[in-house]
Amino acid sequence: MSALNKFRETMRRDQVFDIVNKQDYSEVDTSHGQILYVEDVTVSFDGFKAINELNFYIEVGELRCMIGPNGAGKTTMMDIITGKTKPDKGSVWFGQNINLLKMTEPEIAQAGVGRKFQKPTVFEHHNIFENLEMAMAGNKGVWATYRAKLSSEQHDRIMSVMDTIGLTDNSTQRAGALSHGQKQWLEIGMLLMQNPRLLLVDEPVAGMTHQEMDKTGELLTSLAGEHSVVVVEHDMDFVRSIAKKVSVLHQGSILAEGTMDEVQNNQKVIEVYLGE
Amino acid sequence: MSFFSLKNKITLVLIFSLSLLFTSSSFAESTNLQHKNSEPFIQALELLQSKSYNKKGKAIEQLVATKDERVQSILEAMLKARLFYTKEDKTVVIGKKVDDGFALTSVLEQKYLGSLSKSKLKKVKVNNKLRGILRASIATLSLSSPDAKKRLAAVKQMFGKTNKAGITALQAHLKMEKDSAVRSEIETLININDLDSGDKETQLAAIKTLFNSLNPETRNKLEILKDNADADIASASQVALKNINNKLGFYDKVNTAFFGLSLGSVLVLAAIGLAITFGVMGVINMAHGELIMLGAYTTYVIQQIMPNHIGLALVLAVPAAFIVSGSVGILIERLVIRHLYGRPLETLLATFGISLILQQAVRSVFSPLNRAVETPVWMAGSLEINPALSLTYNRLYIIFFCLAVFTILYLIIKKTSLGLSVQAVSQNRSMARAMGIRASRVDALTFGLGSGIAGVAGVALSQLTNVGPNLGQAYIIDSFMVVVFGGVGNLWGTLISGFTLGIANKFMEPWAGAVLAKILVLVFIILFIQKRPRGLFPQKGRAAES
Amino acid sequence: MFKLLKGDRGGQVFLTLLTLAAILIPIFNLILPESSPFHVSTFTVTLLGKYLAFALLALSVDLVWGYMGILSLGHGAFFALGGYAMGMYLMLQIGDRGVYGNPDLPDFMVFLNWKEIPWFWHGFDNFWFAMVMVALVPGLLAFVFGALAFRSRVTGVYLSIITQALTYALLLAFFRNEMGFGGNNGLTDFKDILGFSLQSDNTRIALFVASAIALALGYLSCRSIVTSRLGRVAVAIRDSEDRVRFIGYRVDHIKLAIFTFSAVIAGVAGALYVPQVGIINPGEFSPIRSIELVIWVAIGGRTTLYGAVLGAFIVNYSKTYLTGVAPETWLFALGALFVFVTLYLPNGIVGLLKRKQA
């Protein structure tokens, strides 16, 4: 990435005056069984429609896989849900009471949406313990963060997550020194520390060995139920191994939805993938 | 023979030789002319040596009355404080400054007398009142010049200084005058004079004809007449005055806009190189201002090498400054910046260090004092559009120069293979490299191009400001503001932003003052960046986002 | 306090040295006779006191740059504002001892034919009011500026450039006589502080000790931030701002809080500097001053706090020495230092020492 692009990355701005639009996001209302509503969302960059009339719903406790060719809009979709990109139109609701489009990234995160990036981004200068500690759910205001002290329960929680992601032995190792796969896990671990209701996981097994993949699959399946999980993945074998329901994204909208077998036999899906 | 007296001789010839004497040999003949030294002429010369300004005034009157052909050069010399008489024998002479005193030409014989030191001469002193009389007298004399431009200048000289005799002379002259510009000027002058006539009809007619006159004298007179006892004259004056004031206000705005455009051109010139290095390459070059400074010093050095061809030196300085600053730029890129790509803050600090070194280097080589860079003759003076609006040539040239530099740069970026490579590298480095573009070479050349343009800007700045070691510092922040305001990576944005800021600055100056205007512009940009962090014309698209 | 310094060997060494200096230097100055080889002249004490103020300023830059990645090229402005607040107090202490002998108006106002003191000078005759302003004015400016900039996510070099524009605008403003801060000449000719003559050895020693205490407190408070979770989040913001947002932190709030705190420290440093050097003028706002102090931090070594202190001492000592011996070489040396440090010493002298140890 050129230095210029790096500047641009940092040049984005908030369009939202978040102080004005304070809404209560303490409790997600999922009484209708759905945790995420994405309806008629469209976003275009310079005339190119990255997302086009996108509609889908995620149920409470569901594990959903999203697949699709490059440029289908998977990452942009995640950007919209987590507040990084604002759509031109459409609505995105978290449960029935929380309008995600009116919130900033930190507010969305606090409301209970966690995200793992495609490129693993952990804080390289911090050790594993500190990475997890910073991600931990709780009051993240300036003063509270300054005064924060770890209680023994919180300490135990970090240790147990570290155990879950298999990094207990390296707790004081700098995250920058971890292998690619370990960084992926650390990032998932940070997600867990946030204790989100909805997890958005972008390409969790890229660069992993088969063993690590299996382990990741197990982890994600075990998370479903208590959490809702959306996984975007290229690796078909991995998707087949964990997915109950699969959505195929193509040119910014949902092309097909169903079990892995159903979508694999869907004529339109075959055309798109073979036509590539 | 000295240049000065030669010029006067030619003037003399031009004025008075209506005959066919005006040939290439007439100059030689005129030097041999036997001057008839009439008594009043000699008397007047003696009177000029008196201490009393009143007597000197009389002497001038007397001189003009002689209609002698030498009078004009005498009066002009007097006005320029170049008329002397020798302490030794009281000869009245015209002097031209030379190294060890003055080269002298006698007034009576029109003969070169060699040079004398200042201590052996006595100056014919003039005061402000005398200067006015001198100007008007010279103007009256000039009216008979065959050169229309001289006549026009002569008429202009007379505004506000005419007397009844003068007007009569002008009216007589008007009958013979063929040049329309001179005619209209004389008419205005006569009309203005009519305003004072005291005759109601004449006054009203004059007000009517002067309805659109922008001459400052018209306005002054109308200002007095608007309170006239006669209601008709007063109201007519008020209407005319209002119209004139509106027009003046308009031209005043045009003038401010012109000043703004020229300031904008300076800003664009200073910033456009930065738009390349910062905008396209993403390199923060804090030494950019010093590269401008090097360009200005290059101009100075070339002028020192060829002191007799100031104009040519200035033209030659453009490519020379491009090469000097461009090479220094490439050197900086190869030695320092290359190692710091992707670390913009470090680049900023390192190039700031370089700027300190360059500043001190210039200080050590050329002295810490400002150097004088001369302005060629063709850049002096101004283009007069009407009495209320005249555009100075140096500002005009700067605007054209800026547009030319911009056009060339734009074509280089859009049309040449270097330009295309620059764009490719700036958009996607690894992809460009994969396609066989040697990114590191392109970087060096791009940086050289941006730096070279800074040098060219320095040539232009050398004509406007002091050339000294701090020249660069004065422009670096402004340049960054222009680029950031316009939108990084966008040459058009830089152009528009430079002009906008220049004009805004000049329009604020009248009520805010120069310093406050500048502060306000800075504060405005600081606030603007909060609202639109990517400037007026941001690059769009997903590539720009990530 | 001991908890704060746990594992911070550099800090322990630094604070020990600082304590020793604060105790021994007054003794060497006041008690030892001038003939003694250990006698420290008052001139040296004041020079060291000035360095201490600079060190405090460097500390504030390290806090935002080293730990949070904000390269402020305008910290000199906060320093100068603190200095001016102190200068105003000192100015009003002169009373009728000025050249014009006007008991109410400072000399430059008399010179400008002003009839009464401008409203914003009211209250500065009170020491404690002035001390509040020393912290409040730079803090407020940093707060307003930061609130705008951080909310709009202006970062990186853009932020650096507009901080530079900020201090440049203030430079131009303070040059104006109409601003009411003495214009070109600034504020000077101070007589006394809290009734003690600024010329006396005792006052100078007191100012030196006050600077040492301020530096120690500044160090400890910065240390308490960087060792807290807030400090870790700040470093995380430096490394990956976006990621911090996605785990639920309000990045703009955190930046704003630390930036403002840092500006307050810079202001305090300015207030300590002014009575020791006896003048404050608009030159302190010049962009080059602000960049220069960034290089102190870079040379000492970022992200260690004590590195910034070390850098401030080394560069300023070199400056004092070189401008005395060979003034024309100073800018060459400083320029070369900029280039050398960024190219070859990214972690400064402290980084070099640490690598040697390892």
Task: Give the mean model confidence (pLDDT) for residues B41-45.
Answer: 81
Give the one of A7, A133, A142 whose C-beta lies nearest to C253's C-beta.
A142
Task: Give the mean model confidence (pLDDT) for residues B16-40.
Answer: 46
B428·A8 Cβ contact <8 A: no
CA distance C259 to C287: 18
pLDDT for position B543: 37
Residue B277 Cα, gap to closest chain C Cα (Å): 14
Residue B341 Cα, gap to closest chain A Cα (Å): 7
> pLDDT below 50 — which residues of chain C?
none
B368 and B485 inside one domain:
yes
> Is some CB atom of chain C closer than 8 A to the CB atom of A125?
yes
pLDDT for position C133: 97
Task: Give the mean model confidence (pLDDT) for residues B331-337.
Answer: 93
> Is some CB atom of chain A closer than 8 A to the CB atom of C158?
yes
B116 and B212 inside one domain:
no
B82 against A41, higher pLDDT: A41
B152 and B301 inside one domain:
no
B477 and B363 inside one domain:
yes
A7·B540 Cβ contact <8 A: no
Which among A228-232, B32-36, B318-322 has the top mean pLDDT?
A: B318-322
Chain B positions touching C157 (Cβ under 8 A) are 284, 344-345, 348
Q: Name the closest residue on chain A to residue B432, using Cα atoms.
A: A2
pLDDT for position B163: 64
Residue C1 Cα, gap to closest chain B Cα (Å): 34
Q: Which of these three, B65, B91, B126, is where a domain ends?
A: B126
Indicate the average pLDDT of chain B: 81
pLDDT for position B27: 39
Using CB atoms, list chains with 3+ pairs below 8 Å to chain B. Answer: A, C
Chain B positions touching A5 (Cβ under 8 A) are 543-544, 546
Q: How confident is the model at residue B36 (pLDDT cuts 50, 70, 90)?
A: low
pLDDT for position A16: 37
pLDDT for position C212: 97
C233·A145 Cβ contact <8 A: yes
In a domain, B104, yes or no: yes
The answer to whether the Cα torsion of C60, C66, C70, C76 is positive or negative is positive
B426 and B365 inside one domain:
yes
CA distance B325 to B462: 15
pLDDT for position A22: 45
In a domain, B452, yes or no: yes
In a domain, B235, yes or no: no
pLDDT at B28 over 60: no
pLDDT at B31 over 70: no
In a domain, B506, yes or no: yes
Q: How confident is the model at residue A3 (pLDDT cuts 50, 70, 90)?
A: low
Q: Which of these three, B74, B99, B126, is where a domain ends?
A: B126
pLDDT at B309 over 90: no
| Percent of chain B at pLDDT exceeding 70 | 90
B437 and B500 inside one domain:
yes
B370 and B508 inside one domain:
yes
CATH of the domain at B359: 1.10.3470
In a domain, B14, yes or no: no
B401 and B520 inside one domain:
yes
Chain A positions touching C242 (Cβ under 8 A) are 9, 84, 105, 121
pLDDT for position B13: 40
Chain B positions touching A4 (Cβ under 8 A) are 280-282, 426, 488-489
pLDDT for position A18: 40
Q: How many domains does chain B have?
A: 3
pLDDT for position B290: 95
C48 against B538, higher pLDDT: C48
pLDDT at B98 over 60: yes
B80 and B110 inside one domain:
yes
Per the structure, the complete domain to which residue B44 belongs is given by: 39-126
Query: Which domains does chain A show, CATH number per domain?
Result: 3-275 (3.40.50.300)
Q: Name the closest residue on chain C to residue A136, using Cα atoms.
A: C247
Q: What is the pTM of this model?
A: 0.81
pLDDT for position C224: 95
pLDDT at A158 over 80: yes
Torsion angle of the four alpha carbons A147, A148, A150, A154, in this order, in degrees rounded to the nearest 10: 160
C249·A146 Cβ contact <8 A: no
B488·A46 Cβ contact <8 A: no
> Is some CB atom of chain A closer than 8 A to the CB atom of B488?
yes
Give the one of B283, B533, B543 whose C-beta lies nearest to A11's C-beta.
B533
The answer to whether the Cα torsion of A101, A105, A111, A113 is positive or negative is positive
pLDDT for position B207: 81
Q: How confident is the model at residue B238 (pLDDT cuts 50, 70, 90)?
A: confident
B445 against B119, higher pLDDT: B445
pLDDT for position B531: 81
Selected residues 152-171 of chain B with any CB under 8 Å from a CB in chain A: none
Chain C positions touching A135 (Cβ under 8 A) are 247
C148·B354 Cβ contact <8 A: no
pLDDT for position B164: 66
Q: How confident is the model at residue B3 (pLDDT cuts 50, 70, 90)?
A: very low
Q: Which of these three, B67, B99, B126, is where a domain ends?
A: B126
In a domain, B192, yes or no: yes
pLDDT at B58 over 70: yes
Strand partners, A94: A36, A98
Residue C248 Cα, gap to closest chain B Cα (Å): 21
pLDDT at B542 over 80: no
> Is some CB atom of chain A closer than 8 A to the CB atom of B539?
yes
| Percent of chain A at pLDDT exceeding 70 | 89
pLDDT for position B33: 44
> Mind spelling out the 3-state secondary structure of chain A?
CCHHHHHHHHCCCCCCCCCCCCCCCCCCCCCCCEEEEEEEEEEEECCEEEEEEEEEEEECCCEEEEECCCCCCHHHHHHHHCCCCCCCEEEEEECCCEEHHHCCHHHHHHHCEEEECCCCCCCCCCEHHHHHHHHCCCCCCHHHHHHCCCCHHHHHHHHHHHHHCCCHHHCCCEHHHCCHHHHHHHHHHHHHHHCCCEEEEECCCCCCCHHHHHHHHHHHHHHECCEEEEEECCCHHHHHHHCCEEEEEECCEEEEEECHHHHHCCHHHHHHHHHC
Task: Give the mean model confidence (pLDDT) for residues B47-76.
Answer: 81
* Cβ(B56)–Cβ(B64) below 8 Å: no
A131-140, B96-105, B261-270, range with the lowest pLDDT = B96-105
Collapsed DSSP state (helix, strand, coil) of residue B34: coil
Residue B423 Cα, gap to closest chain A Cα (Å): 12
B223 against B446, higher pLDDT: B446
B117 and B196 inside one domain:
no
Chain C positions touching A82 (Cβ under 8 A) are 246
pLDDT for position A4: 61
Cα angle: C272, vertex C273, C278; to 5 degrees:
115
B280 and B416 inside one domain:
yes
B357 and B308 inside one domain:
yes
Q: What is the pLDDT of residues B352-411, one digit of tens each?
A: 999 999 999 999 999 888 888 888 888 888 888 777 788 888 889 999 999 999 999 999
